[in-house]
Amino acid sequence: MTSRRAVLGSALGGTTLAALPGVAEALPSRATEAEDLAAGAGDGPGRGRWKLRNRMESDGAWADFLRKQDLVWRRLPALWHEGPFLGDGRLGSMVYREPGANSIRFTVQHGEVQDHRPEFGSGWGTCRLPVGHLTLDPVGTISAVDWRLSLWNAELTGTISTDKGTLTLSAFIHDGIFAARVTPDGDEEVRWTFHPEDAVSPRKISEAPPAGYVANPPWTTRTSGDIEQVLQPLIGGGQTATAYRRSGDTLLLGVAHSHPSDTRAGEVSLRKVQRAAPYGVLRALHTRWWHAFYRKSFVSIPDERLQSFHWIQLYKVASASRADGPVMATCGPWLEPTPWPAVWWNLNVQLEYWLIHGSNHLELDSLATTLRQNQQQLIANVPAAYRSDSAGVGRSSDMFANRSAPTPGSGGESGNLTWALHNVWLSYRHTMDDSLLRDTVFPLLRRSINYYLHFLQPDSDGKLHLPSTLSPEYPVVPPKDTNYDLALIRWGCTTLLEAAERLGVDDPLKPRWQEVLAKLTPYPVDENGFMIGADTPYAQSHRHYSHLLMVYPLYLVNWEQPEQRELIEKSVVHWHAVTGSHRGYSYTGAASMYAMMGRGSTALEYLKKFFDPSTRYPCRANTHYTEAGPVIETPLSASQSLHDMLCQSWGGVVRIFPAVPDSWADVTLHDFRTQGAFLVSAVRRGGVTRFVRVRSLAGERLEIRHGLTGGPVTAVLDDGSRARTHTTDDGTLVIELAKGREVLLYAGERPELDIAPVALSEPGEPWGLP
């Protein structure tokens, strides 16, 4: 099979001959005897069994570590982006003061609750719809709060003090049930109220409804024994139902949504509460899930506030997404008044899911699930003339990807499905699950690239050119040969060729993909670097980095190509030099690009701009983010920037600590998942990488740049025998590692093989309102 490093390293501009099938990098030859000895063969230093000493194995160690990452509140949050948040991938709640009242609001929102009138677009017709909110209404006037959002238990606990006494609170969400237990002290009482909200688009805060739009009918209520319900019918068909029961100091609440059935949601929500386990049992099931979740990987850095932020993002993404649930809307499951009550496909959804790969949490990949399950809708999104072989999606859609895709030449965004498929391809590469490649990536990528191929035309220069398409949200007339699309076409054709080879498919379109790679027009470039498109320079400040996709995250043009370094750097510098429209993900994107360059301190400098309160759109007190409404993608992408500083895997090579900032002398990684389906553990102490352990989950060949210094590198397998290795001309170590086997790499004497949190060198206060 063609080496991915050989393919992606050459798919640039118009010079793509090396990317064609048959022009492959030869497999490394068997290690020489001298190399074998250096790697620990025979009776040399590589002999002897070994095992990592994981200091994070016990519940106590995890509870102690994660408690230090918790969010805390000593002041009552007044806004959604200040307060605690709970979720289980569908049901979500944010906690803050009820506006204008002496109450605590617990929002009740659900990722599957949406309207079903596509004729009014995704902003109004198929948007996420509000459900309602609970209020906890104390007798006395609230004077203080003392809250903690425990990451380890995914639970809000604490007290609410009033002039009448105290309310002691615990709350969590598990398996579709919001569960709260509140006990009063003094003259306080536990009083809950559920407030249904009108089923109208949250976009109403920024614009009037479209012509012909009719409001959904009012909600109704009913009681079944000790369970109360709110039933919301919808004009477009379907129903949303909320059921809740108050019993002593405990409240249980569930939400269900059905379509096209007008009654099923009511039945489901009622059964959900009726059959819910007792509070203590439900909490035990809940904490069991979360405790297993966290153990799948471990990261520790010496920056206290950034370390805490990263662990909060893992909690956040698991609260917002599960593989069997809906694709994340741009606001996540925590719907508030917003212009963004749908799924945005031109950057947002892509950034939302990058974090799950390195952190070893593919069980959260609802994006791959959504694309697999809605392939017919993606086909229906393109004009009828192209449905036989094409698919696409527009800028925004509902949870079923229902939004027409613009045709190239019409000035719209044509590449959004292709970019989303890059995420699914990343999930494939991190698992090497051929069924995902066969059932989702290959058929949909084939169709999304075919859509482009209908519109590519040769010109007098002998190159293939695109008609006008939009570089997402760049505010000028859409140019021809947009770099956003050219990069996606190159990546798509290269990946299709590789996938066909992997799957053993003799696809009749292979000659066409090869021709496109050979003849596609080069990326438009001027004296400032990559342009937006032909005859359209990057001249206005732009929050997106759509014109730089070939650099990141596609890595088609990358720092390991010396002839491209000047172009990459001046493009990134110019992007940020034209100021005025940059947003949080402008800084996280730049951080990841500088991480690719190996400039860890510069990457950290850009990453910290996202947290700088003097910027226009900084990270908020609870680590959420807002641009006219909740937008979940940017904080999650900040954690991916952190990943890119600590471990990268692209072009077929795993890179250990490629861009660690100078200020981070100590770093621990454990079970960090990389492309090729490897789990990496690595420890850095005193600015030096001490060891690297790699476990193969799929039996792929391991190519690694380990960064070990200070003596000959030993490579020893988990049974104590030598590993067969080969070093390429660029210094990459190649190891044949069977599925399920592990290899340990170190330089000089074997170090202590400890996995443990690192000492903090940069203290910081907790997130929340401490």
pLDDT digit string, tens, across residues 561-574: 999 999 999 999 99
Q: Would you tell me the crossing angle of helices 416-431 and 366-373 to the nearest 10 degrees? A: 120
What pLDDT, in 10s, does the model give residues 449-468?
999 999 999 999 999 999 99
pLDDT of residue 47: 56
DSSP, collapsed to helix, strand or coil, labels residue 244 as strand
668 backbone dihedrals φ, ψ, rounded to 5°: -125, 130
Quick check: 188 pLDDT over 50? yes
Partnered with residue 229 across adjacent β-strands are: 222, 243
The closest of 217, 218, 241, 240 to 229, measured between CA atoms, is 241
Q: Given pLDDT bands bounded at 50, 70 and 90, which one contains residue 6?
A: very low
pLDDT at res. 2: 40
Report the pLDDT averaged over residues 679-706: 98
User: What pLDDT score does 153 carry?
Assistant: 98
Band the pLDDT of 616: cuts 50, 70, 90. Answer: confident
User: What is the rounded average pLDDT of the residues 141-147?
Assistant: 98
CB 178 within 8 A of CB 108: yes
**Structural domains of the chain sorted by starting position, each given as residue range(s) with its CATH number in brackets:** 75-294 (2.70.98.50)
What's the start-to-end Cα distance of the chain, in Å? 55
Of 36 and 712, the structure prediction assigns the larger pLDDT to 712
Residue 477's pLDDT is: 83
pLDDT of 21 strictly over 90: no
* Euclidean distance between CA atoms 513 and 346, whole angstroms: 24
Cα→Cα distances 730→438, 474, 715, Å: 33, 39, 18
| Cβ neighbours around 14 below 10 Å, total | 17
Average pLDDT on 330-349 reads: 97
Q: In this model, does residue 586 exceed pLDDT 70?
A: yes
Q: Where are the alpha helices (DSSP H) in 532-583?
A: 565-577
pLDDT at position 346 over 50: yes
Q: Given this model, what pLDDT does residue 628 score?
A: 87
Question: What pLDDT does 98 receive?
Answer: 98
pLDDT band at residue 39 using 50, 70 and 90 as cut-offs = very low
Mean pLDDT for 197-215 is: 96
